[in-house]
Amino acid sequence: MTGVGSSSLPPDGIPELRPGAHLVPEDGACLMEYVSVLAGAPFDDRPRCTDPTLAGVARLVNDACSDARRPLLTAFAPLLAAAPRVDADGTAAIVRAVVLTASGAVGGTALRRRLRRVEGRCARVSGDGPAAAMARRLDPLYRRGAGRRHLEASIAALHALPERRRDAALIATLTAALAAAVPAQTGGRTAVGLPERPLVLDG
């Protein structure tokens, strides 16, 4: 994907990206509400067309991104609209991708313990035997509990970065989450349409 300038604006009739949730498109939309409009679904920040863990990442990134750079996130809307629900392996892969990318961006030890935990989760759900089967059955609890906390902590760590570094890291994190989610639905093939490198933050 080529660079996208910070002046990118949504097409006519599409709501402007803003932080938080909104009642109607005229008030603006978060990234996932934007996806719901694009998909022709009811206006909501949890459209059924997108995996809930991936949608959670998108909402966190939307709210943490600066007002100047948030319009760049519209480039991800078609991909999010086409990314269906994943299994337990996919959930673990999305969470790992977010924690790993955020850890690389912030450096130090801030997310090291969480990274070890999510690596362990990936190993458990992809294994064999009763323990692995149980871990996969408990995926809904993981998504709503520990998995969500790992995502929130990772985006919070990125939010502490200086604005320009923060926005670039947030976009890279959402890119990584999509890359982790889409192959889970395409037999491991590279996801068509994912950015080959982070979007260029012009200006």
pLDDT tens track for 143-190: 999 999 999 999 999 999 998 899 999 999 999 999 999 864 444 433
Q: Around 76, how many Cα atoms within 13 Å sit in the side-chain half-sphere?
A: 32
| Distance from C-alpha of 195 to C-alpha of 172, rounded to nearest angstrom | 9
Contact 41, 135 (CB under 8 A): no
In terms of pTM, does the model score above 0.85?
no
CA distance 119 to 124: 9
Q: How many whole angstroms separate alpha carbon 79 and alpha carbon 67?
A: 22
* Phi/psi of residue 201, nearest 5 degrees: -95, 95
123 DSSP 8-state letter: H
For the chain, helix (H) and strand (E) counts, in that order, are 9, 0
